[in-house]
């Protein structure tokens, strides 16, 4: 998926070669395209991320929750490695509609844990953490206990956001097995699949 | 004292708008020897800066959804700069009880920078709706008259497709079509069982090099702009040859306000706002081609009032703004478990469907008039924000099992979109709003909109057809509504609701399919039409309309190819008239 992989260069070169000399068409020269993409890469690689919206504690909690929602496993890294916390923090810093459910949830989970176990969520042991998360991870719990309606909704909001962050990351896209965004001389169609 | 008379530059033609119609006119007229000045309300297109081809979501901090996530949905940071549902400083209004969405573009090339590249010819019956079923009006021209221009356009821009002899869906000059994707193979089999015609699609994308443009490299990203210009856009394919004649001038940031008449009763200039200096300027020409997009063209004519034409230019018939239609749109998504078994492979293809379903019940007795075609999309596309919301909310929980559920679900959806012919009705039109003006003081449009009974019946038929295709193909209809907050406040979705119309459901919002047209209709009778069979104003012979505004009906075939064929024909007529001294 490197943007300078050899197949890309080869195909791009053949593309620009296929255009006749003196053509008036506005085809982007290979070098200019490479330059534009390089600019985007450099913008991105500007040092470690400093949270813009969440305070230090909340961001740490957010990171931990991201990796619980989409954890690393044998096949790939998790949501933290995929950059989900940065993505969530950045968008939340820019959109007040996102701030409320996220902030409310982080506050709620610490308060619930303190009430039950005398510790914030991060300081709870694994089984305590799981017990609280299981309360909000399923809608049916809110049907039985109306006080969970908002926490369940807010957790769902966070979960969608984490999935967005992970599955648009380099490792997330690779985990899904997306093979495109490249340069082909010919489209091969569908490989043989039973039932398709 | 010596009198110096300022010699003002007079161009042969002034073309308003640089999209499909304006671009075609620019190419044909300048190559035919005329000098042309083009007014474009936006800036020049700069592909190096503007195109995000091949950029991954993780290369952008906002992953494609823009600051604050405000580009979620149809628009994204990846798209070529193409236009907006809302243009700051340029409002439009809707009459009480009407909803209408108006997508406008303010850049060289207009909406051809982003369009779906679906390039379908209208069929013989499409030009004769009244003769066919007694409703609406026939066009003043026939398919046979326009066919040579379809040939010219296709031969120049490049359209892939296959010879199929489908009734009323004429074959064209085609490049070879690409092979079907897995999703399309699956749908084709179901359509065969249901006797629904499913054939290679017809898109303006090069599967072979043509006229100095290289062939497609199958990244599926046409909507982002194409650096090899392997798909059609006016900015990359029509404007450059016009510019190379040396007879072409483009004035950017120029918002046309009014067509100005000379003392001889002909148009002599176009007055426009130069956005950079916020000042009113004039450009002089011997003929004016209005190609600002159907509703903008109607607005410009209605705003061009004079003592001779108090109801607006070319509007002695009163039809300008009337007969507004959009395509009947409807959508349904299916999930197909057998696609879970598809091995990871490159599924991108061209930036659009490889197969589609033309109207397969032509000439049959149906419970509604006219017809529709079906488009499809889905499968193992580049993952994007929002794509896993459904599986997250249905699977619930968290952890490795959720992660795996997302991977299983990835690539197993196919969406179906119907595009059908709306019949013009009295309740759907645009007019000048009596009080609201844009930031330059130009009166804006007010839209009135109502779907007709036929349109609603058609969209119900679409829904039933989509369902039967999905179920016959072994899938299930996805009936998913994102969760709403427990209280009344609608939270994160409110912002998006304002940004773009909500798709899905029974029938689209008027304007949402971006096929709005018909507002400056053509006809032989000057009492019932604004322009004649050459798209020349009945009232003012040196004013022409070269977008979709002159269309008499809105067949289910997407309008762009016909805009170009008509504009090409109009331009050749104008060249011929100039030669004969008629203009």
List the single residue in A18, A36, A98 with the smallest CB-CB distance to B209.
Answer: A18
Calculate how close chain A gets to B573, using CA atoms only, in Å: 26
The confidence score (pLDDT) of residue B80 equals 79
The confidence score (pLDDT) of residue B491 equals 39
List the single residue in B349, B406, B486 with the smallest CB-CB distance to A167.
Answer: B406
Q: Please, which pLDDT band fits residue A195 given cuts at 50, 70 and 90? A: confident
Q: Which residues of A touch B26 (CB under 8 A)?
A: none
Residue of chain B whose Cα is closest to the Cα of A15: B214
Give the helix, strand, coil percentages of chain B, each rounded to 5.
25, 20, 55
Q: Which residue has the higher pLDDT, A8 or B396?
A: B396
Q: Which residues of B touch A16 (CB under 8 A)?
A: 214, 228
For residue B53, pLDDT over 70 is answered with: yes
Q: Which residues of B touch A194 (CB under 8 A)?
A: 338, 341
Q: Output b/e per residue, B149-169; b: 16+ Cβ within 10 A.
A: bbebbbebbbbbbeeeebbbb
Q: Which residue has the higher pLDDT, B271 or A23?
A: B271
Calculate how close chain B gets to A67, using CA atoms only, in Å: 8
Q: Which residues of A touch B51 (CB under 8 A)?
A: 28, 36
State phi, psi for B160 to the nearest 5 degrees: -90, 155
Q: Which residues of B touch A97 (CB under 8 A)?
A: 491-492, 494-495
Taking only the tens place, the pLDDT of each residue in B366-377 is: 999 999 999 999
Q: Please, which pLDDT band fits residue B6 given cuts at 50, 70 and 90? A: low
Q: Inspect the interface and report whether the beta carbons of A20 and B399 lie closer than 8 Å.
A: no
DSSP β-ladder status, B279-290 and B10-16 = parallel
State phi, psi for B48 to the nearest 5 degrees: -60, -40
Bridge partners (DSSP) of residue B375 are B417
Task: Average the pLDDT over A165-179 and give the result.
Answer: 97
Q: Output b/e per residue, B472-499; b: 16+ Cβ within 10 A.
A: bbbbeeeeeeebebeeeeebbeebbeeb
Q: Please, which pLDDT band fits residue A9 given cuts at 50, 70 and 90? A: low
Taking only the tens place, the pLDDT of each residue in B33-45 is: 999 999 999 999 9
The confidence score (pLDDT) of residue B28 equals 98
State phi, psi for B382 to the nearest 5 degrees: -60, 125
% of chain B residues with pLDDT over 70: 95
Please report where in the chains the tokens 């008449």 appear, as a residue. Answer: B261
Q: Inspect the interface and report whether the beta carbons of A73 and B382 lie closer than 8 Å.
A: no
Q: Inspect the interface and report whether the beta carbons of B182 and A196 lie closer than 8 Å.
A: yes
For residue B562, pLDDT over 50 is answered with: yes
Q: Which of A12, A19, A22, A36 has the highest number of chain B CBs within 10 A, making it the mutation to test binding with B?
A: A36
Bridge partners (DSSP) of residue B418 are B330, B374
Q: Which two tokens stand for residue B550?
A: 């002159």
Max Cα-Cα span within chain B: 92
For residue A101, pLDDT over 80 is answered with: yes
Question: In 10 A of CB B88, how many CB atoms?
Answer: 7
Taking only the tens place, the pLDDT of each residue in A13-50 is: 555 444 444 445 455 545 555 555 555 555 455 578 99
Q: Please, which pLDDT band fits residue B250 given cuts at 50, 70 and 90? A: very high
What's the CA gap between B489 and B284, in Å, rounded? 54
CB B124 within 8 A of CB B171: no
Q: Inspect the interface and report whether the beta carbons of A160 and B392 lie closer than 8 Å.
A: yes
Q: Inspect the interface and report whether the beta carbons of B398 and A137 lie closer than 8 Å.
A: yes
Calculate how close chain B gets to A157, using CA atoms only, in Å: 9
The confidence score (pLDDT) of residue A48 equals 83
For residue B3, pLDDT over 90 is answered with: no
Q: Report the mean per-residue pLDDT for chain A.
A: 85
Calculate how close chain B gets to A61, using CA atoms only, in Å: 16
Q: Which two tokens stand for residue B357?
A: 């379903």
The confidence score (pLDDT) of residue B234 equals 97
CB A141 within 8 A of CB A156: no
Task: Average the pLDDT over B16-44 and give the result.
Answer: 98
Q: Which residues of B touch A139 (CB under 8 A)?
A: 396, 483
Q: Inspect the interface and report whether the beta carbons of B217 and A36 lie closer than 8 Å.
A: no
For residue A161, pLDDT over 80 is answered with: yes
Q: Please, which pLDDT band fits residue A6 given cuts at 50, 70 and 90? A: very low
Residue A15's nearest CA partner among B56, B227, B203 is: B227
Q: Which of B388, B407, B414 has the highest number of chain A CBs within 10 A, making it the mutation to test binding with A?
A: B388
CA B267 to chain centre: 28
What's the CA gap between B54 and B523, in Å, rounded? 46
Taking only the tens place, the pLDDT of each residue in A61-76 is: 999 999 999 999 999 9
Calculate how close chain B gets to A76, using CA atoms only, in Å: 10
Task: Average the pLDDT over B391-420 and give the result.
Answer: 97
For residue A94, pLDDT over 90 is answered with: yes
Q: Which of B71, B392, B487 has the highest number of chain A CBs within 10 A, making it the mutation to test binding with A?
A: B392
The confidence score (pLDDT) of residue A114 equals 98
The confidence score (pLDDT) of residue B448 equals 98
Residue A177's nearest CA partner among B58, B55, B186, B411 is: B411
Taking only the tens place, the pLDDT of each residue in A116-139 is: 999 999 999 999 999 999 999 999
Q: Please, which pLDDT band fits residue B488 given cuts at 50, 70 and 90? A: very low
Task: Average the pLDDT over B325-342 and give the result.
Answer: 96
Q: Inspect the interface and report whether the beta carbons of B55 and A37 lie closer than 8 Å.
A: yes
Q: Inspect the interface and report whether the beta carbons of B219 and A181 lie closer than 8 Å.
A: yes
Taking only the tens place, the pLDDT of each residue in B170-212 is: 999 999 999 999 999 999 999 999 999 999 999 999 999 999 9
Q: Inspect the interface and report whether the beta carbons of B342 and A138 lie closer than 8 Å.
A: no
Q: In angstroms, what CA-CA distances link A90 with A51, A61, A160, B323, B339? A: 7, 16, 16, 46, 35
What's the CA gap between B255 and B267, in Å, rounded? 18
The confidence score (pLDDT) of residue A187 equals 96
For residue B344, pLDDT over 90 is answered with: yes
CA terminus-to-terminus distance, chain B:
37
Q: Which residues of B touch A138 (CB under 8 A)?
A: 396-397
Calculate how close chain A gets to B407, using CA atoms only, in Å: 5
Q: Inspect the interface and report whether the beta carbons of A180 and B346 lie closer than 8 Å.
A: yes
Q: Which two tokens stand for residue A42?
A: 């450099």
């Amino acid at each position: 998926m490197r943007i300078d992989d050899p197949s890309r260069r080869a195909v791009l070169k053949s593309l620009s070669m296929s255009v006749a000399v003196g053509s008036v068409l506005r085809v982007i020269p290979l070098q200019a395209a490479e330059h534009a993409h390089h600019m985007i890469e450099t913008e991105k690689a500007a040092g470690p991320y400093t949270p813009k919206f969440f305070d230090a504690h909340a961001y740490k909690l957010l990171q931990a929750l991201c990796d619980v929602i989409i954890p690393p496993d044998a096949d790939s890294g998790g949501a933290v490695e995929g950059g989900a916390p940065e993505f969530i923090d950045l968008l939340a810093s820019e959109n007040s509609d996102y701030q409320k459910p996220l902030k409310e949830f982080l506050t709620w989970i610490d308060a619930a844990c303190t009430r039950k176990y005398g510790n914030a969520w991060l300081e709870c042991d694994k089984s305590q953490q799981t017990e609280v998360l299981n309360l909000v991870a399923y809608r049916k719990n809110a049907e039985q206990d109306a006080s969970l309606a908002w926490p369940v909704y807010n957790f769902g909001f966070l979960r969608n956001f984490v999935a967005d962050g992970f599955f648009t990351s380099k490792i997330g896209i690779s985990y899904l097995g997306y093979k495109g965004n490249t340069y082909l001389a010919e489209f091969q169609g569908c490989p043989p699949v039973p039932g398709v | 004292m010596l009198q110096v008379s300022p010699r003002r530059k007079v161009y042969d033609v002034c073309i308003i708008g640089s999209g499909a119609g304006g671009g075609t006119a620019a190419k044909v007229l300048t190559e035919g020897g005329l000098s042309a000045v083009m007014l474009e309300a936006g800036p020049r297109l700069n592909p190096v800066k503007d195109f995000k081809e091949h950029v991954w979501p993780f290369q952008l901090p906002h992953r494609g959804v823009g600051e604050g996530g405000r580009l979620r949905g149809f628009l994204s940071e990846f798209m070529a700069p193409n236009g907006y549902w809302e243009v700051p400083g340029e409002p439009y209004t809707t009459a009480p009880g009407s909803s209408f969405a108006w997508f406008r573009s303010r850049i060289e090339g207009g909406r051809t920078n982003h369009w779906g590249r679906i390039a379908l010819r209208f069929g013989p019956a499409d030009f004769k709706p009244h003769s066919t079923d007694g409703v609406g009006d026939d066009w003043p021209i026939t398919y046979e008259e326009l066919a040579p221009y379809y040939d010219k356009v296709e031969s120049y821009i490049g359209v892939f497709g296959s010879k199929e002899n489908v009734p009323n869906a004429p074959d064209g000059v085609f490049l070879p079509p690409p092979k079907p994707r897995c999703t399309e193979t699956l749908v084709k089999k179901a359509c065969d069982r249901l006797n629904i015609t499913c054939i290679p699609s017809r898109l303006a994308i090069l599967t072979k090099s043509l006229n100095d443009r290289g062939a497609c490299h199958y990244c599926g990203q046409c909507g982002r702009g194409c650096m090899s210009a392997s798909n059609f856009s006016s900015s990359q394919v029509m404007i450059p040859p016009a510019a190379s004649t040396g007879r072409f001038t483009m004035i950017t940031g120029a918002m046309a306000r009014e067509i100005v008449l000379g003392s001889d009763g002909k148009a002599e200039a176009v007055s426009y706002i130069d956005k950079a200096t916020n000042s009113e300027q004039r450009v002089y020409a011997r003929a004016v081609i209005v190609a600002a997009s159907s509703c903008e063209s109607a607005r410009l004519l209605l705003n061009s009032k004079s003592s001779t034409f108090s109801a607006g230019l070319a509007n002695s018939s009163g039809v300008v703004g009337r007969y507004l239609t959009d395509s009947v749109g409807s959508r349904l998504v299916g999930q197909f478990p057998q696609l879970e078994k598809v091995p990871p492979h490159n599924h991108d293809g061209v930036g659009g469907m490889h197969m589609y379903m033309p109207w397969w019940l032509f000439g049959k007795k149906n419970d509604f008039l006219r017809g529709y075609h079906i488009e499809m999309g889905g499968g193992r596309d580049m993952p994007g924000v929002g794509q896993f919301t459904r599986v997250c909310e249905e699977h619930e929980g968290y952890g490795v099992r959720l992660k795996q559920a997302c991977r299983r679900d990835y690539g197993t959806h196919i969406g179906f979109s119907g595009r059908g012919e709306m019949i013009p009705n009295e309740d759907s039109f645009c007019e000048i709003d009596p009080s609201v003006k844009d930031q330059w003081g130009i009166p804006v449009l007010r839209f009135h909109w109502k779907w007709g009974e036929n349109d609603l019946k058609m969209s119900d038929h679409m829904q039933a057809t989509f369902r039967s295709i999905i179920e016959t193909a072994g899938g299930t209809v996805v009936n998913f509504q994102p969760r709403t907050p427990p209280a009344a406040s609608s939270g994160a979705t409110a912002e998006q609701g304002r940004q773009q119309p909500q798709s899905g459901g029974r029938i689209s919002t008027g304007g949402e399919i971006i096929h709005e047209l018909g507002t400056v209709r053509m006809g032989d009778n000057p009492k019932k039409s604004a322009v004649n069979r050459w798209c020349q104003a009945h009232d003012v012979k040196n004013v022409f309309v070269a977008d979709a505004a002159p269309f008499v009906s809105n067949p289910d075939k997407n309008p762009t190819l016909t805009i170009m064929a008509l504009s090409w024909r109009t331009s050749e007529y104008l060249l011929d008239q100039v030669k004969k001294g008629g203009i």
